[in-house]
Structure 1
Amino acid sequence: MTKSKFIIHYLLLNKYSYLCAIVCIFVVNYLQVEIPRFIQLAVDLLNESTTESKAGLLENVQWVIALSVIMIVVRILSRMYSLNPGRITEATLKNDVFHRLNRLPSTFHERYASGKLISIINNDLTGIRLFYGIGFLQLFNILFALSLTPIWMWRISPELTLYCVIPIVVASIIFWLGYRKLRALHSERLIRLQNLSEQLMNYLSGIDLIKNQQMGDWVTSEVNKVNRHLFDCTMKIAKIQTFFMPILDYANHFMKVLILGLGGYYLLQAELTIGEITAFLSYSVLLALPLMHLGRIATVYQMGMISIDSVQNILNSEVPSTDLLRMDDDEKSSLRGSALFVKNLSYRYPNTEDDHNDVILKDISFSIEAGEKVGVLGSIGSGKSTLVNCLNHHLSLESGHVFWGKKDITHMSRHDWRSYVRTITQDPFLFSDTISENIKFGAKQQYDEHHKQQQHPATNDLDVEQVLELSQLKEDVQRFGAGDQTLVGEKGIMLSGGQKQRLSIARALLTPSDLIIMDNVLSAVDYETERTILKGVFNRIQGQSLLVVSHRVSALEYMDKILVLEKGEIIARGTHTELLKNSRYYRETWELQQHESEANS
């Protein structure tokens, strides 16, 4: 979507409100130029003492009061109809941006850090809100004021009107020079804000490391550098706004001096009356207000245009075509309970050299039948997490390698594919909410979608207490004062590493899925707790498939089959008993971990 189409699209979103606002703004400006005309008539009648003049004076004053009251009411309506769409547009854009961010692949998020995206959502969308709100209001205020007011001034004195135009023209030229410089600085400032937000997010994420390594002074220095760049840019903007933007206000003051000086001369020449000069001064004020707001609307316009560019970088980013597809309920139902087939899967991360050593996965092939429990054993750097991210389609794959039944997962949207597969990662993300709400996050929607094509009788209705017990977290939760209503803090800061992992297991077990992938999620618990959790998981997911990825043999000994992964290749496969006999790597790993377990106990 081009910028012009973007602007028109969101303008039409509130077209009726904007139409009402235009009508109200026109009425307000028309009443503003009419009121001085009655003031002129009233002032000219002050010098007369007849009964008719007094009646005329009273009538004109009444008209001024009545029109002023009407103008106040209509002005309030104009602000409601013109400012509310800005809020509506901001809310709609936030939903659109979040919806797009949720559908964009991992390659996009690798280019845009979270801090930069947060800055765009906060700062840039505020600029767009002002653009569609106060920007719209002031634009039509200026258009109507600058078209109606000079006409009424011309009716009183064409010569005086022309003299008043001279300082306005000179000031407008100076204003335009400052405006051009200001636009570049506003663009730079938003980029500086994004950089600062990105850096702060990075440092806050690693605050524990910074404290432990006593890196506080260095971090403070780095933040100060970025903040200084932002400060310098902001000061440049302030200087231009201080010296260039008020030039129109100065022109207004000079215009008033001209009106008083030349108006006094015309009064002495009997070419103007006191009432006409009074009305002309009123019109000069009406002409000055939009000129004073011109600086503000220029700033709002600049921020809006720059902010639209930033938001369009998100909205115009390409979503994979398959992610735009949605399977119907019958097709989803037909794929329930399918087997997973991996055929000759190789993977190299983008932007790496075309070198054999850069291939993370090399010709991987295996299958997971419906209801089968499969384990993957591998050391750090063997490619376990890359394999998981390929299977759940977090990474972009070539077609023809991973199938769900007969369906290639690259021909399915990620949304549809993840209704079949549930991944529990070794770094669970927890929200600053209660334990119960963290477990139930997204569960209701997943539960409803799954039960439209229910195939598994094993999973009961949503039962937080049950999954807490299965994940061996129930006793820990009972020790908390508020039970499962305990707040876990930001990113689960109130919980230990093992508690976080068990909570993520409880979250995955709460709602049904066809395949559960556990990516090294038991690394922070002891061996006995690990066995107990796995037994509970086995009982819970009868009829569902399970893939457990771990560097611990103890987590895999009860699997139907185990794959041994080393340097991106499967070097052995079989049951626990078979691998102890046939795989030297597996046997040595098992013996080493048995010695560690005995030593720890």
Structure 2
Amino acid sequence: MNKRQFISHFFRLNLSSYLLALVFIFTVNWLQVEIPHFIQKAIDLIDDPTSAGHEQLKFYVWVVVIMAVSMIGIRILSRVYALNPGRITEAALKGDLLHKLNRLPNSYHEKFASGKLISIINNDLNGVRLFFGAGFLQLSNVVFALSLTPLWMWRISPELTLYSVIPIVFGFVVFRMGFKRMKKLHVEHQRRLQDLSAQLMNFLSGIDLIKSQKMSPWVSAEVEKMNQLLLRCRMKITRIQTFVMPVLDYANNLMKVLVLGLGGYMLLNQNLTLGEITAFLSYSVLLALPLMQLGRVATIYQRGMVGIDSVQTILNAEIPEQDLQQHADADRQKLRRATLSVRNLSYQYPNDSRPVLKDISFDIPPGKKIGVLGSIGSGKTTLVNCLNHHLDVPAGSIFLNETDITEMSRSDLRRYVKTVTQDPYLFSATVEENIRFGSGDGEVSKSQVEEVLALSQLAGDVSRFEKGDQTLVGEKGIMLSGGQKQRLSIARALLMPADLIIMDNVLSAVDYETERKILQGLFARLDTQSVLVVSHRVSALEYMDEILVLKDGQVIASGSHDELLKTSAYYRETWQLQQYEEEAAAC
């Protein structure tokens, strides 16, 4: 949707709240202009010596008191109904953004750093919240105040009202010039915030490297550069807000001088009464508030427009057509225990001139255990990311039964294919919560959690933790060792069943003996499920039904462990070298 449709959608979402807010805001402004009217009548009765005049004076005083007290309650209601839509819109947008980001392919996320996306969801969305909340409240106040107050002033003295308008018109001309400049600066400010957020995210992700390589001074200098650019932009905005945007306030002060001078002259000539000049001065004060608020309304409007543009870069991003068409339950059942077939798969990254994978073909029927052996840079991870459609693979290369995976939604494919990566991501939560993540608390029993902990050879470590499986693992699992992180990610993958589990070098941080125990337990648990284990260790693949040897993006040999020892010199040399390393480690 375009910007106009976006704004219209969320106004309709909160229409009832906005309508009630308008009623209460109008009532408050009507009471504000009526109170000086009754004050005028009361002042003009002060010199009346009659008892009827005194009674009338008391009546006007009580009317003013009741109106003032009523304003308090009505103003509170106006704020509640005007500000709530901003929070409702913010909550709805955060849900929409998270849902959209989860559905967008990897190619989209490669264009935007995580820090920029976080800045949009936090900083830019605050501007949208203010636009639909405080912005609506203040704009409505300004419109009603600038409509009613001059009308009541005109009823007292049209001539004095016209003189009062002269400085206001001059102030509006200067205000508009500042408004245009502010719009450009707010766009720049949001961009600077996003850049700084992205840079900080990058540095925080590599904090261990920064410390070990003593890069802190360089990092501090880089952050300071970005911070200074942001500061300079912020100072430009502040200067305009300080010297240009308050011009309407200056104009209002000049208006008060005119009212006092001309009004005093008209009072001496008995063209106005003391009550009327007092009421007129009260109206000039009431007029000052909306004029002062115009600067804030302009700032909120510009922040809101910039925020909406940023949010729409995510909401308007195109989801691949196949990801929008999910299979019906009956079709999903037909794909259960399907064979994953790879046919002449070749893959080349968009910015790379050479293919990473070359003409790869193999099948993974139900219950089969396949291993992929390869050194660093052989294309193992690229192959995994093609199989789970993390990368945009060529059509006609990978099939689930007879269905091309490029014609399936990624969410449907991942019902059957579950991937455990070599760099597991853990949340700042407990061990149990990390295992249950994505499965739903009500669907998994405590005994199932304990079972997968045992299968992943993590139960012993967890039992030694002070709080057991309720121990917090810290941000990205910082409280755990590399091997514990990997085993925890395996436990999470084993909790919910899948037809094919891909394990991408997930045992690289554990010793050989633990690796064997994990694989033996894994194969016992996954007797009817398919497994693809990717590793550079031969010991991790000895029990596989078939092993593919990958080198420079090509399958140079395939077969069982025993067969490859006889037929593949590369496999045999790798196995012998690793046997020697294992024996050396045991000593």
Corresponding residue for 1:576? 561
In structure 1, distance between residues paired with 2:286 and 2:394: 66
Q: 1:212 and 1:532, CA in 2 relative to 1: closer, same or farther beyond 3 A?
A: same
Determine helix, strand or coil for the equivalent of 1:487. coil
Answer yes or no: is the 8 Å Cα contact 2:515–2:540 preserved in 1: yes
Aligned to 1:345, the other structure's residue is in SS state strand
Residue correspondences, number: 586
SS at match of 1:111: coil
* Aligned position for 2:481: 496
CA contact (8 A) 1:446 1:511 kept: no
| Deviation sequence 1:30-54 (CA, Å, 0-9, x none) | 1111111111100100111111111
| DSSP 3-state at the match of 1:572 | strand
Written as runs of structure 1 = structure 2, the 5 A alignment for 1:503-582 is: 503-582=488-567
Identify the residue that residue 585 of structure 2 maps to in structure 1: 600
**Alignment partner, residue 403 of structure 1:** 399
CA apart distance, 1:352 = 3.0
1:449-460 to 2 correspondences below 5 Å: none
Q: Matched residues in 1 for 2:94 and 2:440: separation?
A: 23
Specify the alignment match of 2:236 in structure 1.
Answer: 236
- Using structure 2 for the length normalisation, give the TM-score: 0.98
Deviation of 1:325 after TM superposition, in Å, equals 1.5
Residues 169-568 of structure 1: pairs in structure 2 closer than 5 A: 169-353=169-353, 358-444=354-440, 463-568=448-553
**Is the contact between residue 462 and residue 510 of structure 1 (CA under 8 Å) also seen in structure 2?**
no
Q: Any conservation in 2 of the 1:183–1:302 contact (CA below 8 Å)?
A: yes
2:571: which partner in 1?
A: 586
- 1:149 — aligned with what? 149
Corresponding residue SS for 1:463: helix
Q: What is the rounded CA distance, in whole Å, between the counterparts of 1:35 and 1:327 in structure 2? A: 66
Ranges in structure 2 where 5+ consecutive residues have no aligned partner: none
Residues 478 and 462 (structure 1 numbering): CA distance in 2 closer, same or farther, change over 3 Å? closer
How far 1:27 sits from its partner (Å)?
A: 1.2
Superposed displacement of residue 107, structure 1 = 0.9
Q: Distance in 1 between matches of 2:214 and 2:326?
A: 51
Question: How far apart are residue 308 of structure 1 and its match?
Answer: 0.6
Cα offset, 1:443, TM superposition: 1.6
Report the 3-state secondary structure (helix = DSSP H, G, I; strand = E; otherwise coil) of the residue aligned with 1:366.
strand
Aligned mates of 1:463, 1:188 — CA distance in 2? 52
Q: Which residue of 2 aligns with 1:103?
A: 103
Cα distance in 2 for partners of 1:306, 1:282 equals: 37
CA-CA distance at 1:412 after TM superposition: 1.2
Q: Which amino acid aligns with 1:574?
A: G
Q: Does the C-alpha gap of structure 1 residues 227 and 136 become closer, same or farther in structure 2, counting only changes over 3 Å?
A: same
Cα distance in structure 1, aligned partners of 2:326 and 2:255: 65
Counterpart residue type for residue 592 of structure 1: L
- C-alpha change, 1:118 and 1:218, in structure 2 (3 Å) is same
SS in 2 for 1:542: coil
For 2:546 and 2:154, how far apart are their aligned partners in 1? 93
Distance in 1 of aligned mates of 2:239 and 2:448:
62
Pairing 1:122-141 to 2, within 5 Å after superposition: 122-141=122-141
For 1:417, the aligned partner's letter is L
Instruction: Give a deviation string over 1:158-187, Cα, whole Å, max 9, x none.
Output: 010000000001111111111111111111
Q: Say which SS state the counterpart of residue 359 (structure 1) adopts.
A: coil
Deviation at 1:515, TM superposition (A): 0.4
Task: Answer yes or no: is the 8 Å Cα contact 1:447–1:512 preserved in 2.
Answer: no
Whether the aligned pair in 1 keeps the contact of 2:347 and 2:394 (CA below 8 Å) is no
Structure 2: how far apart are the matches of 1:4 and 1:539?
A: 58
**Take 1:468 and 1:158, find their aligned partners in 2: how far apart are those partners?**
84
Counterparts of 1:36-115 in structure 2 under 5 Å?
A: 36-115=36-115
Equivalence for 1:457: none
In structure 1, distance between residues paired with 2:534 and 2:411: 23
Find the residue that maps to 2:332 and give its secondary structure. helix
- The DSSP-based 3-state class of the residue aligned with 2:366 is coil
Q: CA deviation at 1:446?
A: 11
Is the Cα contact below 8 Å between 2:501 and 2:531 reproduced in 1? yes
| Cα distance in 2, alignment partners of residues 161 and 321 from structure 1 | 62
Task: Please give the secondary structure, in 1, of the residue aligned with 2:419.
Answer: strand
Native 8 Å contact 2:372 2:533 kept in 1: yes
Q: Distance in 2 between matches of 1:387 and 1:549?
A: 10
- 2: distance between equivalents of 1:150 and 1:301? 25
State the SS of the aligned residue for 1:365.
strand
Q: Deviations over 1:210-236 (max 9, x none)?
A: 111111111111110000000111111
Q: What is the RMSD of the two structures over their aligned residues, measured on CA atoms? A: 1.2
Q: Which amino acid aligns with 2:451?
A: Q
CA contact (8 A) 1:392 1:421 kept: yes
CA contact (8 A) 1:246 1:292 kept: yes
Query: Equivalents in 1 of 2:185, 2:226: separation in Å?
Result: 16
Aligned 8 A contact 1:447 1:511 in 2: no
Per-residue deviation, residues 48-84 of structure 1 (Å, max 9, x unmatched): 1111111110111111111222222211111111100
Q: How does 1:8-27 map to 2 (within 5 A)?
A: 8-27=8-27
| Contact residue 431 and residue 470 of structure 2 kept, 8 A | yes
Deviation at 1:398, TM superposition (A): 2.3
Say if 2:456 and 2:487, in contact at 8 Å, map to a contact too.
yes
Instruction: Quote the residue 1:452 is aligned against.
Output: none
Shift of 1:108: 0.9
For 2:424, the aligned partner's letter is P
Instruction: Quote the sequence identity (%).
Output: 65
Q: What is the SS of the residue equivalent to 1:443?
A: coil
Q: Deviations along 1:469-514, whole A, 9 cap, x unmatched?
A: 1111111111111111111110000100001000000100111111
When normalised by structure 1's length, the TM-score is 0.96
Letter in 2 for 1:378: G
CA contact (8 A) 1:572 1:579 kept: yes
| Equivalent residue letter for 2:69 | V
| Alignment CA distance shift 1:446-1:530 (3 Å) | farther
**Equivalent position SS for 1:272:** coil
Q: What is the deviation of 1:445?
A: 8.2
> How far apart, CA to CA, are the structure 2 residues paired with 1:462 and 1:518?
24
Equivalent AA in structure 1 for residue 409 of structure 2: S
2: CA distance, partners of 1:322 / 1:269: 83
